[in-house]
Amino acid sequence: MVRALLNRKKDIMLVIRNLGAVLQGLGIVTMIPILLTYFYREEMIYINYFLFPGVITFIVGTLMKKVKSDVNMQIRHAMMVSSLAWLISALVGSVPFMFIAKLSFVDSYFESMSAYSGTGLTMFGRIYSVETLPKILLFWRSFEQWIGGIGIILVAMIVLIRPGVAAARLYIAEAREERIMPSLPSTVKVIWKIYFFYTILGIILFFVAGMPLFDSVNHCMTGLGTGGMSIYDDSIAHYHSLSIELVAVFLMILGAINFTVHYKAIFKRRLKELTSDIQFKALFLIGFFVIIIMGFDLISRYGIIDGFRNAFFQGFSAITCCGFSTADIGSWGEVSKSSLIILMIVGGGAGSTAGAIKLVRVALILTVLKTHIKKSLLPNSAVMPVKMGGAIFKNRDIIEAFLFTIVYIGFLLGGSFILMQLGNGALDSMFEMASAQGNVGLSVGITSPMLPLTGKLTLIAGMWMGRLEIIPCLVFISNLLFFLRRKEKI
């Protein structure tokens, strides 16, 4: 009989204990928007919608953290904690949307999951205008994306989770493997310093470009966190400003670059690390190649200048998995939509705030194909290792890249098929699912409060699985099914 990866009482206690630390951090995060009422006193009436869920979450987390377990943390435990953490975070984060914006529970959960996962698909903009929301809720959406970009686990680790093997397992389970410093705590602190520095820089740049301060704070958080939610229904198009668009693209690119590269290039002043990084080069090579194709396709709609301007902005918004928009993508032709789908599937760099398959996997797969072609021209006895960026990749790395890509595309096709069954076109269904699963946020109009429940749940699942790179979610689901089957037998 196949046993579940997590089926003992002690294992469950370990998961509860570590999840408690994450919930403590989540509780603190949920109360932070209350600080905004110091500047906007008229919005103090909304304090309870952040205070109560924040306090309750913190108390529950504190009680859970007191649970005793003598089991050592393994990667399977960490995957369970990480999977549950994102599901619960979206649940807690949905409370303000339900009581302030008066959205239904499912729509509120959708909005919160989209924000925390850094996706940006939204229930607002078509039936419900985001521009009518109070500033504290607008800030909350943006803040969720900023926190989600850096990672919920990293939020807990910086103050609540003790350094050690358990912390390392949780770090990996949240789809992160980069080690900037020798120790994990030092790595987490450096990532936060980089993130804070770029956040302040982004706010200043947006403000100088012409945005009001409140707008600058919100769009910097969602741009750097590659989330893409805006405080206006028409997103960045609201400003009709080339300078603001360029600042947005700059922040999106920053968010899509590996934090290790940021540290070496900017803080250690080794700029060659930036230009020699394989993911950085792939970002621009793939991006510009597809953007040129889109630009020629959009000339007939917008003219030469505006055609390439829209292709440039939406193209980088897609490959960086941000989701800012300056155009009605739903009205675009098949060539441009297909081009954006490709970019949304590729995604940004590993170890960044971006999602999707990741540039390093795509580059590795292309390198493997190139190596095999070269090897076919040589004698059978010739040995040709797979090299990329000065590193030699083992068969294990290659298998992981191919396997993940196959699984990723499989779930993408499955979700697209479900959306098609709800009456949407094949290309539009693929676009919306690629946007959700890649944590992008660009939309052709399928996402709305009118979308049937099945469609909303499909996109929610796509956002959740895409943020955690699928495997932790599959571990969670397999254990859940095991417990349900065992309960039925009892």
131/72 Cα distance (integer angstroms): 49
Residue from 172, 148, 31, 131 nearest 90 by CA: 148
- Checking if the pLDDT of 448 tops 90, the result is yes
DSSP 236: G
3-state helix, strand, coil in the chain (%, to 5): 70, 0, 30
What confidence category does residue 159 fall into, taking pLDDT thresholds of 50, 70 and 90?
A: very low
Contact indicator for 437, 415 with CB cutoff of 8 Å: yes
Supply the angle between the helices 426-437 and 453-467 in degrees, to the nearest 10: 40
Percentage of the chain beyond pLDDT 70 is: 90
The residue-averaged pLDDT of 372-385 equals 78
- What is the model's pTM? 0.91
Task: Kindly report, residue by residue over 216-230, the tens digit of the pLDDT.
Answer: 999 999 999 888 999
Contact residues for 283 (Cβ-Cβ < 8 A; gap 6+): 253, 256, 257, 319, 320, 348, 349, 359
Q: What pLDDT digit, counting tens, does each position of 171-209 carry?
A: 455 545 666 665 666 777 888 888 899 999 999 999 999
How high is the pLDDT of residue 165?
A: 47
Pairwise CA distance, residues 344 & 356, whole Å: 7
409-436 residue pLDDT tens? 999 999 999 999 999 999 999 999 999 9
Q: Which of 24, 92, 12 is nearest to 60 (CA)?
A: 24
Cβ contact 259:180 at 8 Å: yes
Nearest to 259 by CA among 339, 176, 173: 176
d(CA 428, CA 438): 15
The secondary structure of residue 282, as a DSSP letter, is H
d(Cα 358, Cα 322) in Å, to the nearest integer? 14
Question: Strand, coil or helix: what is 376?
Answer: helix
The region of weakest confidence among 146-150, 268-272, 371-375 is 268-272
Mean pLDDT, range 97-105, rounded to an integer? 96
Is the per-residue pLDDT at 292 higher than 70? yes
Q: What is the pLDDT of residues 14-60, one digit of tens each?
A: 889 889 988 998 999 999 999 999 999 999 999 999 999 999 999 99
Residues of the chain with pLDDT > 90, as a percent, come to: 58
